[in-house]
Amino acid sequence: MSYEKNLSLCYCTVFNWYYIFSHLFSLISKLTGQFYQSGDCGVFMSMNKRLAGTGLASVSCSFFVTLYYVPLIAWVLNAFFDTFSDYAWDGSQDEKFDGTTYVLDTVIGGSTVTANGFATRIAPANVGYLFLSWVCVYCCIAFGVKVEGYITYFTMGFPIILLFMFLIICANLPGSSDGIRAYIWEWDLNVLTERPEVWSTAVSQIFFSIGVTFGIMTAFGSHCDRNAPAVENSIIIALLNSFFSFIAGFMVFSAVGALATKKGVDISDVDVGGFSLVFGTVPEVLDGITGGKHLVRLFFLFLFLLGIDSAFALTESAVTVICDTSYCAGKPRKLVAGGVCFVGFLVGLLYVTDAGLSFLDVVDYYVNFIMMLVGFFECYAVGWAFDIDKQVASHGLTAVVLLNTGTFVSVFVASFLWFAGDESYVLGGWLALIFIYLAYFKGVVLSLKDHHGAGMDMKSELYDLYFGNITTLCDTLRPVVGFLPLIWAIFIKLIIAPLLLLLFINLAFSGNFGVYGGYAVMPYQFLGYISIAIPMLIFLAGVFVPSIYSGFNAAKSMDDIVANDEKDDEKTEKKLMADNDTEGEAA
């Protein structure tokens, strides 16, 4: 759980508001994966052959994160084993000792970075820990989902116990109440207007937290029983994740308050950015307690278990999609998993250079763009592109195109005026949103009048154009996944999809794009550009040249699945009737 100065619960307020919408969005992955029994690529290709790139874009997003996430685990392992050597953390009793600087210079090896921030070498120890981390990931995913489930009981269960233990310890330290007060009460609403990018980063934090846009939920959903209660399971996952994130906040801010008291400074003066928090603040606080070195080791073990759990889940999405392709038909899962992990290890060497933290920081920032972009692609696929052929046949191509473009062009232009200009453009943005949409809507109405849909009046045609495809989607999914309100699909189509486009533009004009962190354009910003360009090109390639993904097997179409379900129901009914007749004759 990340902490930014002056945000605390203010950030959490935005976080929790978005959590509701993100949960509705996360259902896309869980429901479709379970229904189609396939990974992201197969799911979206089954909806429309031109949507294969949507699934692959989400998997690429997942893999980009995995590539820097596993090196982060390698640093945690290095720090963990480092506590068994001369135990540098003993120096934390010295006020001049800084845990963050120690980890950055010694564990990561950043002391040899050039004055311009460029890498000069690879840290040999971290290469070994990177290899060990990928071996752990491989062992978790190579033997199937059942084994992953058993492993997850430990990688999630034990950290929960440790979380409450650390919470109790930190909450009883001098100054902890100041930290908790900062977490709960001391927040500044002006941040929401002065730093509008907070609205976008809160969304990406939630997406990362529950695995949205990574294909994780789709992959695991594909391994669930088709008749499992998908909505209920998703609600449980979301609530538990939110609960433990909130609890972790108390532990973190207790430690922040304790460290501020120990150093005799105000909480706002403690450097507790994301990296400093994990490798500096909490270890320093724990080390100041009796038996502290063992607590520090447990804390790094805690981070390792949480990290490896996320890492193998992220990797699973890529493995599932690759196993679904015709290229890997009949290939052992262990071989596919090994190939993915080996590629991850090779690319991950970039992050175990002495400038590894800079590379990680840049890509981690630009991944925010990827997540919102992929999220928009997925919402558009489910809410707009699903059943679009039938809508064109019923209402004409012109009406469908005008409704699609009118919705998103109006949002795009309005967002551009709101975020690219100053306050004087706000009213212009609202006017653009309203008048552009109304102009397109008028075009839709005129087109429908000319088309004369199959015996429907204008009101019925408009309703079918707006809600017909998503009503069909919900009606088809319900018999398999259980309770599914239509309001879910309405939110996906008319609210969440435009909202993600707005947030993407908001983040793009936050003033950090291309200059983030003051890093040089080459290689740092360029790496970020590539991270965004690749998923976008993958998506566009599927739209314009769908044959390029012919090797990726689509799941059965929705119509075929429904037909097979009906046949299975008929067979079951006939079997029950035959059994009843047999019992009657026996009687």
Domain boundaries defined on the chain:
8-382+518-549, 387-513
> 6: pLDDT confidence band, cut at 50, 70 and 90?
very low
CA–centroid distance for 486 within its chain? 24
- pLDDT above 70 for 562: no
pLDDT tens for each residue of 294-347:
899 999 999 999 999 999 989 988 898 888 888 887 789 899 999 999 999 999
**C-alpha to C-alpha distance for 480 and 7, rounded to whole angstroms:** 42
For 145-159, 188-202, 296-310, 418-432, which range has the lowest pLDDT when averaged over its residues?
188-202
What is the DSSP-derived secondary structure letter of residue 556? Answer: P
Q: Which residue has the higher pLDDT, 63 or 242?
A: 63
Q: Do 343 and 322 meet the contact criterion of CB atoms below 8 Å apart? A: no
Residue predicted with more confidence, 156 or 329: 156
Closest by Cα among 70, 66, 71 to 370? 66
Within 10 A of 563 (CB to CB), how many other CB atoms are there? 12
Please give the distance of CA 418 from its chain centroid, rounded to a whole number. Answer: 26
Cα–Cα distance measured from residue 553 to residue 488, given in angstroms and rounded to the nearest whole number: 28
Residue entry with tokens 């993915």: 340
pLDDT of 134 reads: 98
Distance, in Å, from the CA atom of 119 to the CA atom of 114, rounded to the nearest integer, reads: 7
Q: What is the mean pLDDT of the chain?
A: 84
pLDDT tens string 256-294 = 899 888 888 888 777 666 677 778 888 888 888 887 888
Q: Which of 7-11, 363-367, 580-584 has the highest mean pLDDT?
A: 363-367
**Concatenated DSSP letters for 12-40?**
HHHHHHHHHHHHHHHHHHHHHHHHHTS-H
Tell me what the mean pLDDT of segment 470-498 comes to: 89
What angle (nearest 5°) sits at the alpha carbon of residue 386, between those of residues 381 and 389?
Answer: 125
Q: What is the mean pLDDT of residues 130-159?
A: 91
Among residues 305, 320, 352, 343, which one has the least CA distance to residue 64? 343
Q: Which two tokens stand for residue 36?
A: 């189609």
What global pTM score does this model have?
Answer: 0.87
Residues belonging to the chain = 587
Token representation of residue 140: 């978790």
Q: Write down the pLDDT at residue 5.
A: 44
What single-letter amino acid sits at 287?
D
Q: Which of 394, 238, 307 is nearest to 76 (CA)?
A: 307
Question: So what's the pLDDT on residue 586?
Answer: 57
Which of 157-171, 198-212, 454-468 shows the lowest per-residue confidence on average (mean pLDDT)?
198-212
Mean pLDDT, rounded, for 562-570: 56
